Amino acid sequence: MRFTVVLCLAVIADWIFGDPRNFPHPVKLIGNAINFWHKIFFRNNESFMRGLAVVLMTLITAGFFFGTLLYVSGCNILMEVYLLYSALAWRDLKDETAPIFFSLINHDLTGARKYLSFVVGRDTENLDEVEITRSTIETIAENSIDGVISVMFFAGLGHALNPQWGMVISVWLFKAASTLDSMLGYESYGKYGKASARLDDVLNFLPARIGGLIIVLSGAFTGGKVREGFRVFMTDRLKHRSPNSAHGESAFAGVLGVRLGGGAFYGGEFVSRPFINGNGSEPSISDIVRTWKVLDVSCGIFILMVIFLTWTL
């Protein structure tokens, strides 16, 4: 019962307040811990063991910090709600892509490119309307997994392992791993970042696959193409170099009936990537709204599923 209350209050807080930018955000603390251990272990080489040491020390630091926080607060329910709420990025995905959508509606490609540059790593200066729209949908689709689905997955798993402490500790160990991947990932630091990248791959393995199927199912409630969504998910979900990234994108692409993926410029260099749902139509501006709807329904279904499983198992 307590888990359900905490989960529901955290989701409501996320819907009302979005990302807690004006409060101490635990991700910033995680980032500071990573920088601290990075400065100690990094020696301007590609040592896997040094990268692994950063991973281990960051996870130990995160576990100790959040465990202490729970202990000092007496596992206060409001503390648990805040820590779970601050780990979610459901509304944030919509808040960060809404300015892109409204810029496109107002035919302001310069503004749309600027706002898109805040949420993607690719070069945005020369993107046209279709490319901006495609990039926006891809951002929502990919981050729906690690920003919401995976958080809820580890909240439920942590609660199952330890009803008193497990939810918060599990979620923030996952968030620490995700932040490690973002800051020190394999492509940025070679072998040094390999441990960070591989840990993130392992942790997102199940949520990506479960989440992809849930996204396909959501098409039944949003006017999407469920059968096509499942087909594209099964055929295109491994088209990224990352073993998990294309699961969300392929599910969204199939359900929406649009073509995603393709090559893009990063730092002035063109990086070739295969299309996902290559026979789909080019996305239009209205497809961003449809993407938000699929996001809402799929996340809602997954949350209900997690609550149901915690009540029955």
Two tokens, residue 191: 């072998």
CA atoms of 98 and 77, how far apart (whole Å): 32
For 119-167, write each residue's pLDDT tens digit.
Answer: 998 899 999 999 999 999 999 999 999 999 999 999 999 999 988 889 9
Which tens digits make up the pLDDT trace of 216-261? 999 999 999 999 999 999 999 988 878 888 899 999 999 999 999 8
* Listed residue (12, 154, 197, 182) closest to 90, CA to CA: 12
**Residue 280 and residue 256: Cα distance in Å, rounded?**
9
Q: CA-CA distance, 258 to 287, in Å (whole number)?
A: 8
Supply 107's token pair.
């035919």
Kindly report the pTM of this predicted structure: 0.92
- Beta-ladder partners of 264: 271
